[in-house]
Chains A and B, each alone.
Chain A
């Protein structure tokens, strides 16, 4: 299971739509130049990361000014959820799901900060600022040294502790009540 199972999903897919005989001709072309301001997604392989760089030290100042108010001075959580801590807690009675303990990809952090943070001014940070604050949050989790900085090449290389912690959906996973054995069929 795990990574292999998820990846196999991507290989076993057919096309959703039948091939159109003739396009209806609705809409206008979406050239890269037209969609550039919206084309902000970043994948684990680094596709979508912009040019630029940012250091843990630069990120510390930015984090204090723009993030600490909601997430706590060291990412311990306040009005908003914790960003750091919790490593080793996932199998316990009180799991703490943070960037360091739970998130499988460092690229997701960049993507989310870029699209949704800071809460009071989303999509206001520059690429350099986004690299910097991502670096600092990873540093708070012990995943980057204080002198580190990140760019499009370095960010996908950050080793995330819970990288292999995810499995595919095994449902249905609960046996039907014994009183109705005929209700369970292989067709499920």
Chain B
């Protein structure tokens, strides 16, 4: 093995991520004249039937916490290694509560009943016949970014990996509800999965703006862990509501008070009360490069890159600080800026080589500004578990190492 390869591997180890990382951009020393490598001197391979990333690219999901049961875990997206706004299907975060069911799509059915005029059972072929829509949307678990337990060696995958963004295709829920005919008095629906916990959530009908019964993601049918063959997709709302492996929708006049919306996915406040039906994911942002575990190899130009999103419409702007919040600069938003979707932001930065503290602060088109952790904790304490959208910081050491810093 050449010295150059060893250097490259140790650089990758320092970076803590695959070769795709954009943060540690220091050029490797090129003392020797360029040669003509073997891959230029022979014919290459043919493509496999279904393409795979290059063998050198090692991006992967992993469980955020060691699962208490093999069938109940969540795996996180490697945001530090991704570019643009779309998450590849194999890297989209996933959370399941009772394993990933192996569903025969020909035997899968969606039942829609309750307070409707024409209760229906639909096959997958039926569902694909309906007029379709395709939309780019972000999906975030409301448990993304733990309130407690931060570690200096956190990567952005550890801290923010329960979020991904994809193009979702399916039939609008409104189209299917029109087909069954919503009866007067209906105000909530129950969505139920076909997995081994028959996951259920109640959702008020006035929170369903843009809801999709999705059967495709980034152009191909859903992956099994994303709800194959059919999932509910509710843009801008906490991920758990987007019931996967969707088998049943029941309309009713009040919430059904399932386990997930009472004992879980409620936000415990310092006074012992808990907020219920906290659906919207508020504006949030994070810097993905430079980010935790990466390493700036040399002073000079570095582009600060990150992602911002909001459940309330579009991102209006993102400010970035490199001095721990003493001063802020407006980042450039990469268009198109879409509602309830990742927005990529970028800011050119000249690193002088000393310590720095990087923060990002998003605001959305409603005027809402991503709060500091102090402001958020002052209202909600630290035991609410869900919906932590606080400003988040990375510390750059004088040696270029990037670590988590509150």
Contact = CB atoms under 8 A, between A and B. Distances in A.
A23 B118 contact: yes
B119 A29 contact: yes
A16 B205 contact: yes
Interface string B109-124: 0011100001111110
Interface in A81-114: 90-91, 95, 97, 99, 102-105, 107-109, 111-112
Given A23-B179, A26-B129, A27-B179, A180 B363 contact: yes
B255 interface: yes
B179 A41 contact: no
A174 interface: yes
A169 interface: yes
Contact of B258 (A19, A38, A111, A168): A111
B295 to A, nearest CB: 32
Contacts of A123: 198
A10 B326 CA distance: 46
Interface in A157-184: 165-177, 180, 183-184
A40 B198 contact: yes
A183 B188 contact: no
B276 A166 contact: yes
Interface in B97-132: 97-98, 111-113, 118-123, 126, 129-130
A173 B379 CA distance: 7
B91 interface: no
Contacts of A91: 270-272
Interface in B199-255: 200, 204-206, 208, 247-248, 250, 252-255
Interface string A6-31: 11011111111111100110111111
Given A38-B111, A79-B69, A20 B178 contact: yes
B178 A17 contact: yes
A168 B120 contact: no
A13 B186 CA distance: 8
In this complex, the interface size class of chain B, counting residues with CB under 8 Å from chain A, is: 35 or more
Nearest to B68: A79
Among A9, A41, A91, A176, find the residue whose CB has the most chain B CB atoms closer than 10 A.
A41
Contact of A168 (B259, B269, B277): B277
Nearest to A102: B263
B120 A167 contact: no
B399 interface: no
A142 B345 CA distance: 54
B275 A90 contact: no
Contacts of B119: 29-31, 35
Nearest to A185: B367
Contact of A169 (B190, B208, B275): B275
A115 B198 contact: yes
Given A30-B113, A115-B200, A177-B369, A41 B192 contact: yes
B121 A10 contact: no
Q: Classify the secondary structure of A's interface with B.
A: loop
A171 B274 CA distance: 13
B113 A167 contact: no
A175 B208 contact: no
A16 B174 contact: yes
Given A29-B120, A31-B119, A116 B196 contact: yes
Nearest to B116: A30
B127 to A, nearest CB: 8
Contact of B368 (A11, A38, A39, A172): A172
Given A10-B187, A26-B122, A167-B273, A95 B268 contact: yes
A173 B377 CA distance: 11
A153 interface: no
B100 to A, nearest CB: 15
B368 A188 contact: yes
A72 interface: no
A163 to B, nearest CB: 11
A32 B120 CA distance: 11
B354 to A, nearest CB: 26
B262 A18 contact: no
Contact of A27 (B126, B198, B252, B282): B126
A30 B120 contact: yes
B277 A169 contact: yes
Nearest to A9: B204
A112 B371 contact: no
A165 B274 contact: yes
Nearest to B130: A26
B178 A108 contact: no
B282 A171 contact: yes
Interface in B76-101: 97-98
17 contacts: A9-B277, A10-B253, A14-B205, A17-B175, A19-B178, A23-B179, A30-B119, A39-B248, A79-B69, A90-B273, A91-B271, A168-B275, A169-B275, A169-B278, A176-B368, A177-B372, A183-B369
Q: Which 5 residue pairs of A and B lie closest in terms of their CB atoms, listed nearest first?
A: A91-B272, A90-B272, A20-B178, A30-B119, A116-B197
